Amino acid sequence: MVANAMNEKVQTGVKKTLAADKDWWRGAVIYQIYPRSFQDSNGDGIGDIAGIVHRLPYIASLGVDAIWVSPFFTSPMKDFGYDISNYRDIDPMFGTLDDFDLMIETAHKFGIRVMIDLVLSHTSDQHPWFQESKLDRTNPKADWYVWAEAKPDGTPPNNWLSIFGGSAWQWSVHREQYYLHNFLTCQPDLNFHNMDVQDALLDVTRFWLDRGVDGCRLDTINFYIADKELRDNPALPPEKRNSKIAPSVNVYNHQEHLYSKNQPENLEFLHRFRKVLDEYPAAAAVGEVGDAQYGLDILGQYTEKDKYVHMCYAFELLAKDKVTASDLPEIFAKVDEVAKDGWACWAYSNHDVARHKTRWDMTDDEYRLYSILLMCLPGSACLYQGEELGLEEADVAFEDLQDPYGIEFWPAYKGRDGCRTPIVWEDSFNANGGFSVGQPWLPIDPSHFAKSVAEEEKRENSMLNHYRRAIALRRDYPVLRKGRHDPLKNKGNVVYFTREHEGQKLFCAFNLSAAPAEFDMPEGKWKNIGEQVGSLAFTGQPKQTLGPWQSCLALETDTKRN
């Protein structure tokens, strides 16, 4: 079987070194791990770093290039690790620095790079920096966070809103001032206008790079710097509102966040950040651009040439509505316009959005096709744990919710717990699916047991093995990783494009519908390279017919044309 053969190859062919390829990130497939829900090693019901180490052979069997590990730093866990109280240590629930070092060492032996999730825009209110800053207005860290006077009537300094609901300002009785928090009230925003703050965060970055990490995922990369004058955000007309970043019931969508984020000074910090990364032979960074109106424009700015971060992702493929054959040409035309010298990274699912199998109401055939599409699109790709199993969004009852976002907006918005439930490794309800011998921190959806890793390994044509084949296709053809592309086009429900790299030319077409669809093959001689993922076995005729949810992946064989 494919799976067993791959696992045997991984176990017997462990790499002892990891080449310092500074461009490894171009076209890379990055596997996101949400550590709380990946594998528990000590029976407390919470996943940990030792659990990740235990499952690295499985990750290697997928064929991915890197893992991105969501926050594991010391934290009160009010926002499950995105509220950091110590940037330089591991929260005890996840393990120790020794465990972390072992994860790095083991991942590198398997040829897997490790990216960590750096949350630089804010800290926990339990961080020693904030504990000192809030004492008074004259202490050494008094200006390390965004503090402001109340208006004469005692109301907040301006109209800025928090993503988690309500004002983005919280009153402090210690200083008799407000502090800014774009997220929870316990997540005060750092003041990047203070160079000492920037220096401290760059030192944190060096700390982890020195431990051997290969790069960073930068949380909310466009939130770092707020307008120094604290000007009010303008209202956003109803017709321009969308729910890419915040659910539709959130009043956050009523503003154009012109001054609370996306400030031009952010580029100056990112340039400094890039210089730190460049001190290391092959470090790379991917930024999360959280903006509903200007996400792609910011992606282009932040990845320009070699000045800032290596790649960014916006929310176009993480949106609530399914991306269609007509959407893709528009999205990539915009990327080509604003990011000529930049690089995009794409994902359908992550820890903040409902799993796309449910979000887009997909059949298995549809889901499989979109996975091939992701492996063929220009840019790099992120997969979220469990995506390779075809997991649906879990149904989490209100009394079991952990996510403060879901608790705040229930029932109109159920929060993020449904995509964060533990991975099921075995089809054993009593043993919590092999995730933990203890009670899991979130309940496991019973429907997930039939899609456990053990069950998926048994079937040659399982979703898991399909993902392995799709990733292998990308790995085997460098043109899919680093190749340039012509403009994406669509004919009805068929989207198509070509990729070219070092003399190879590849034609890709995808029927994003449940009905057969005709398309025209370009001139030339072609051979099918996608048999293993169900690609069309085409004839030599110019007109071809794709079946429902089928792809055509064809490599040009006429070398005279290359």
Beta strands 73-74 and 551-556, pairing class = unpaired
Residue 178 vs residues 167, 175, 227: alpha-carbon distances, Å: 11, 8, 15
Dist. CA 513–CA 370, nearest whole Å: 11
Residue burial 92-126, b: 16+ Cβ < 10 Å; e: rest: ebbbeeebbebbbebbbebbbbbbbbbbbbbbbbb
Structure tokens, 303: 């990845």
Dist. CA 52–CA 186, nearest whole Å: 29
Dist. CA 444–CA 455, nearest whole Å: 16
- Direct distance between the N- and C-terminal alpha carbons of the chain, in angstroms, rounded to an integer: 37
Dist. CA 368–CA 365, nearest whole Å: 5
Residue 353 vs residues 39, 59, 324, 406: alpha-carbon distances, Å: 21, 22, 19, 12
User: Which residues are annotated as catalytic?
Assistant: 219, 279
Task: Single out the residue of 314, 332, 312 nearest to residue 377, CA to CA.
Answer: 332
Beta-carbon count within 10 A of 255 CB: 18
Q: Is the dihedral of CA 37, 40, 46, 49 positive or negative?
A: negative
Dist. CA 123–CA 82, nearest whole Å: 8
The phi and psi torsions of 265 (rounded to 5 degrees) equal: -65, -20
Q: Tell the residue number behind the tokens 């069950």, with chain if given.
A: 455
Q: At what angle do helices 195-210 and 265-277 cross, to 10 degrees?
A: 30
Helices (H) and strands (E) in the chain, counts: 14, 21
Task: Single out the residue of 220, 205, 74, 200 nearest to residue 144, CA to CA.
Answer: 200
Q: How many CA atoms lie within 13 A of 423 on its CB side?
A: 29
Task: Single out the residue of 166, 153, 47 nearest to residue 103, CA to CA.
Answer: 47
| Residue 414 · residue 389 · CB < 8 Å | no
* Element (DSSP H or E) covering residue 204: helix 195-210
Q: Tell the residue number behind the tokens 């790299």, with chain if given.
A: 501
- For residue 228, the 8-state DSSP code is T
Q: Which residues, 6 or more positions from 308, have their beta carbon under 8 angstroms from its beta carbon?
A: 267, 270, 271, 273, 274, 301, 302
- Which parts of 289-408 are beta strand (E)? 311-313, 345-346, 380-384
